[in-house]
Amino acid sequence: MRGQTQYIYPVEADNLEKRYGSFYAVKNNTFKIKKGEIFGLLGPNGAGKSTSFKMMCGLAKPTSGTARIMGIDIIKHPAKARSNLGYMAQKFSLYGSLTVRQNLNFFALVYGISILKRKAKVDEIIEVFGLKEYEKCPAEELPLGLKQRLSMAAALIHNPPVLFLDEPTSGVDVLTRRDFWNHITSLAKKGVTILVTTHFMDEAEFCDRISLFYKGQTIAVGTPKELKQKAGANDMETAFINLIKESEVDK
Amino acid sequence: MKILLALIKKEIKQILRDPSSIIIAFVLPFISIMIYMYGINLDSVKITMGIKNDDNSPEVATLVKSFGHSKYINSINYDNMEDIKTAVLRSKIKGAVVIPNDFSTKLSRGEKADLLVITDGSETNTANYVQSYAVSIANQWLSSSKFSKNIKRPLITAESRTWYNPDLNSHYFIVPGSIAITMTLIGILLTSLVVAREWERGTMEALLSTSVKPIHIVLGKYIPYFVLGMMSMAFNVFLCVGIFKIPFRGNYFILFVVSGLFLFTSLGIGLTVSSKLKNQFLSSMVAMSLGFMPALMLSGLMYPINSMPEFFQHLTRIIPPRYYVSFIESEFMAGTIPEIVIANAIFLTILGCLLFIAVYMNTSTRLDGNK
Amino acid sequence: MIREFLRRVAALIKKEFITIWNDPKTKGIIIGMPLMQLLIFSNTSTMEVQNIDTVILDRSKSVESRELISRFEYSPRFRGFYYVDNEDDFKKYFDVQKVQIGLNIPNDFSRKVKSGKGAIVQVVSDGRQTNSAAIGAGYAGQIISGYSNDLMGEPDTGINITVRNWFNPNLKYKWYILTIIVSMLSLVTTLILTSLSIARERELGTFDQLIVSPLSSFEILLGKSIPPLCIAMTLTMIMTGIIIVFFKIPFVGSVALFLLSMTISLLAIVGVGLFISAISNTQQQAILSAMTFMMPAVLLSGFLSPVEDMPMCLQYLTYLDPVRFFMVLSRGIFLKGMGLGDVMANIIPLIIIATITLTLASRTFKRKLG
């Protein structure tokens, strides 16, 4: 009975480390994300945010440490942990020659939605993401914005409690980006826990909390407001630069 | 010019980054030539065959012995036909010789003695060896046996001479032929993959939408792979002549010029295929089917073109390896023969230029389409 | 559990088929290319040397020499004839590859034939085409000794050799080469199909999407091996049907054993292809590695020269070569009617190869994650 009262974080990173020889790509990475929170991984290219992200969803093996999704260890029980996870890659990575509907059908089956419920579920998600008129179109022929929408739809087909997004808005226009973030925030309100990587500083403002990555290490964690205060800056960009400078001085 | 250099530089970087192109240009030819030299033998194949002897006379025992002593035959003795059947079925032996019990009696009476030769017809190439080995050993034995006094010498004998390759060493023609295969792989398969990938990833479209001229793009592909192919060619020739001592009677300058023409033609095929299909899977299927397999089967390397049905003989005229194989075999084994060099070089040049134009048109129309 | 497992595997298989079937180009090329090649190569692959062009230097110019030459002219194997009167011209015809065979009849030919001393005719062949040269020279030899026998009259003693070619009474080269061509085309198609399958998804990023899904390695492996196996099997059956119906090659073995052997042979090749695919980062690496496997595998399969004739170390190497067993099985069952025992002896190594390669492939899916 005590277990039930204890709060479980939907996403936990526990001392994740990735080492190549003596070089640390990611060092000592620990964080916990609360239910319904949007957690951002922020940092320049090569800072280790993408490696961390990959280790979190099991696409890369950590040298030490582990991650838990809904309390399930991703290394020990990968299949079980992943069934709670929706994943959207940075690059469009659905099947180009399959149509919109075929793609969604495929992922519905892979995520274990039974055949009886599948049609209703796919219909629903096509409706929600406004893909109705494109459903027979091969995915590779969609414009970029719609491709992103389809990727998101595929990631959400099994109603995952946790959603991982890797640079979801790279390459799309400003309007689509807006649209996209509206969607993400409304999902979070419904209780979906979201981990997102980005290099757009303005997007960082949409996150509830941010982890700043630099040279394989987290140099600061907090809400956007806290981080700006800590760095004494008015916008994220300056905050970010100041925080990096500080960390350099500390060394 | 600067643009072209930049494109070539980028391409070379890509070649160097991916070890697979080095493997196909240098490692695979090395392995293949090693196998051709040590594993493949088309002239004096050693064959395992069975012998069933029902004649107990001492003369016939010497016949059995001469089968055993032949360096081309590995003989196994059998007592009954059933065992021979099973052995042939299992491919343990490729054939058998059966000597009937009246063999020596008939010969000493001056009659004709029967000898049964059985072959495994499912492997026609070895079946032919079994036949000819058996016939020649039996005749040799007969002429040196005590029955020979009854035998008349044939009135006319054919004396065989093989020019350009007096020892009939098949390595002398297979190994140079394998150069044609390697060059086809680099020219067609490798380039078609590389260009198809650029279409697949969209980098080609991106490049076409810039102000780069189509001729630069085309040359930017031809030149680096031409250089890689010629390096592989040089390596192959070094292996053939330097390491494996295949005799080369021709002229190196001419060898490299015509090889260059062949490579130019092959690159044209590879680039046309990939820019039409824009997909690595389809490109490699087509490159294998239209490039590699015909180079093996229709070039004259494995099967004589003259013996093909008329229609297919004409079909081989559009296959560049046909000209190249004809040239390289002659250049290696007979030396430079102007007629052969010129005829093959002209056909290769024509095919190569036509393909170059096709590649150029393909690229430039796409460029217009994008503007 | 089982139902979910089946559902996921079925989804994967369906997806593989749709990707091929959705695209008319892909469909056409997978089926069309092998069939086109079968059609062409089945007509062109012949060892029955024909249309031989001949240069003749007849210094004897006698009744006997003309009679010998006319026998060549009437032979269906010989086509063009060029008559020269000196060695230089004789050589010239060879140099420029106008002829494959040359007959050099010495001026004492007629005299020696008449005196019964035994005459010699020189048969020259072009060694640049070693194979067909030997065969063509053989035909010439037969014509010459035929003429000689006719002049002498049938000898009353000697060895009368009867040849029986089992499984192929007329020793038709087509019977032999067509079973090999079918195996070769299946091999090439299967290898391209499988070696690209994972590498392609990896390059396009869709493989990551599969990895982060609840699919297990085993499920991915099944989903990746069953579709190419089905396609390769269908293709092989179509091609086998074609050579039976159109080329009239008798199928003497057991159909059940043939199906079983083909399935297992192709599975072993699927295993090799998927293993190559799993260790490759790009499609280029995959295809080129597949070639690097295929060339030696075909050369060592015993199709060009018998395995027993190779050096011992290479003979041992052929035990790792699925193509070797594949060819023995297809030819053995097709033409020789191999029985269960002998089929098993060749299937077991294939099962071992398939098990090892498939296991390695499924392990490599994840190991590649870094």
Nearest Cα residue in chain C from B159: C122
Q: Which residues pair with A38 in a beta bridge?
A: A194
b/e burial code for range B150-171 (CB count within 10 A of at least 16 → b): bbeebbbebebebbbbeebbbb
Touching subunits for chain B (3+ Cβ pairs under 8 A) = C
Provide the shortest C-alpha distance from residue A222 to chain C (in Å).
28
CA distance B317 to B313: 7
Q: Which residues of B touch C310 (CB under 8 A)?
A: 38-39, 41
Cβ <8 Å between B286 and C40: no
Same domain, C61 and C195: no
Low-confidence ranges of chain A (pLDDT < 50): 1-5
Cβ <8 Å between C205 and A115: no
Same domain, C20 and C82: no
User: Does A57 or B269 have the greater pLDDT score?
Assistant: B269
Indicate where chain A has its CATH 3.40.50.300 domain(s): 2-84+162-250
Domain annotation covers residue C81: yes
pLDDT at position B57 over 60: yes
For C312, the domain range is 2-45+168-367
Please report the pLDDT score of residue B370 as a whole number: 43
Chain A residues with at least one Cβ partner in C under 8 Å: 54, 57-61, 79-80, 82-83, 85, 87, 89, 91-99, 102, 105-107, 109-112, 114-115, 138, 154, 164
- What is the average pLDDT across C101-124? 91
Confidence of residue C186 (pLDDT cuts 50, 70, 90): very high
Q: Which residues of B touch C123 (CB under 8 A)?
A: 158-161
Domain annotation covers residue C75: yes
pLDDT at position C68 over 90: yes
User: Is B252 an 8 Å CB contact of chain C?
Assistant: no
CA distance C136 to C101: 7
CA distance A64 to A21: 13
Touching subunits for chain A (3+ Cβ pairs under 8 A) = C
CA distance A219 to A31: 12
Same domain, C201 and C253: yes
pLDDT at position C367 over 70: no
**Which of C155, C192, C306 lies nearest to residue B45, judging by beta carbons?**
C306
User: pLDDT digits over B123-167, tens only?
Assistant: 888 898 899 899 989 988 988 888 877 677 788 888 888 898 888
Please report the pLDDT score of residue C60 as a whole number: 92
Same domain, C102 and C19: no
ipTM of the complex: 0.89
Same domain, C320 and C178: yes
Contact B244, B174 (CB under 8 A): no
User: Is B16 an 8 Å CB contact of chain C?
Assistant: no
State percent of chain C over pLDDT 90. Answer: 69
Contact C263, C229 (CB under 8 A): yes
Length of chain B, please? 371
Please report the pLDDT score of residue C1 as a whole number: 74
Q: In sequence order, what are the residues at sequence separation of 6 or more whose Cβ sits closer than 8 angstroms to the Cβ of residue B63?
A: B99, B137, B138, B141, B145
Q: Which residues of C touch B281 (CB under 8 A)?
A: 26, 192, 196, 200, 283
CA distance C67 to C121: 13
Task: Tell me which DSSP letter residue C128 carries.
Answer: G
pLDDT at position B371 over 60: no
- What is the average pLDDT across B189-203? 86
What residue ranges do the domains of chain B occupy? Answer: 2-39+169-370, 47-150
Count other Cβ atoms within 10 Å, centred on residue A101: 18
User: Is C198 an 8 Å CB contact of chain B?
Assistant: no
Same domain, C7 and C92: no
pLDDT at position B239 over 70: yes
> Helix and strand tally (H, E) in chain A?
10, 10
**Residue B252 corresponds to which tokens in the numbers above?**
């190196």
Please report the pLDDT score of residue B306 as a whole number: 87
Please report the pLDDT score of residue A6 as a whole number: 53
Same domain, C69 and C39: no
* Interface size between B and C, measured as CB pairs under 8 A: 369
Nearest Cα residue in chain A from C8: A110
- First-to-last alpha carbon distance for chain A, in angstroms, is 46
3-state secondary structure of A19: strand
Same domain, C41 and C60: no
CA distance B83 to B76: 11
Same domain, C9 and C134: no
CA distance C208 to C193: 20
Q: Which of residues 105-144 of B touch C (CB under 8 A)?
A: 107, 110-128, 131-132, 134-135, 138-139, 142
Nearest Cα residue in chain B from C249: B122
Please report the pLDDT score of residue A180 as a whole number: 85
Cβ <8 Å between C206 and A95: yes
Cβ <8 Å between C50 and B306: yes
- What is the average pLDDT across B45-59? 90
**Residue B325 corresponds to which tokens in the numbers above?**
């194989």
Cβ <8 Å between A112 and C8: yes
**Which of B21, B120, B159 lies nearest to residue C122, judging by beta carbons?**
B159
Domain covering A2-84+162-250, topology: Rossmann fold (3.40.50)
**Which of C25, C46, C157 lies nearest to residue B308, judging by beta carbons?**
C46
Best mutation target among C67, C163, C177, C325 (most B Cβ atoms within 10 Å) is C163
Domain annotation covers residue C163: no
Cβ <8 Å between C19 and A110: no
Confidence of residue C183 (pLDDT cuts 50, 70, 90): very high
The total number of structural domains in chain C stands at 2
Q: Which residues of C touch A87 (CB under 8 A)?
A: 208-209, 212-213
CA distance B150 to C20: 73
Cβ <8 Å between C97 and B330: yes
Q: Kindly report the CA angle at A54 between A53 and A58, in degrees rounded to 5?
A: 120
HSE-CB of B205 using CA atoms within 13 angstroms: 8
Cβ <8 Å between C95 and B334: yes
- What is the average pLDDT across C194-206? 90
Contact A53, A166 (CB under 8 A): yes
- What is the average pLDDT across C54-82? 93
Q: Kindly report the CA angle at B278 between B277 and B279, in degrees rounded to 5?
A: 90
**CB-based burial label for B253 (10 Å; 0-12, 13-18, 19+):** exposed
**Which of B43, B110, B281 lies nearest to residue C196, judging by beta carbons?**
B281
Please report the pLDDT score of residue A5 as a whole number: 43
CA distance A162 to A194: 6
CA distance A116 to A114: 5
| Four-residue CA torsion sign, B309, B312, B313, B314 | positive
Please report the pLDDT score of residue A125 as a whole number: 92
User: pLDDT digits over C270-300, tens only?
Assistant: 999 999 999 998 899 999 999 999 999 999 9
Contact C105, C55 (CB under 8 A): no
- Of C125, C152, C179, the residue at which a domain comes to its end is C152
Return contacts of C86-91, CB within 8 angstroms, 24+ apart.
Answer: C86/C57, C87/C57, C89/C55, C90/C55, C90/C57, C90/C124
Q: In sequence order, what are the residues at sequence separation of 6 or more whose Cβ sits closer than 8 angstroms to the Cβ of residue A119?
A: none
pLDDT at position B324 over 90: yes
User: Does C219 or B145 have the greater pLDDT score?
Assistant: C219
Provide the shortest C-alpha distance from residue A94 to chain C (in Å).
6
Whole-number Cα distances in Å, A18 to A21, A53, A181, B102: 10, 12, 30, 85
- Of C152, C181, C212, the residue at which a domain comes to its end is C152
Q: Kindly report the CA angle at C197 between C195 and C199, in degrees rounded to 5?
A: 75
Domain annotation covers residue C118: yes
CA distance A108 to A116: 11
Thinking of the domain B47-150, which architecture would CATH place it in? 3-Layer(aba) Sandwich (3.40)
Cβ <8 Å between C213 and A107: yes
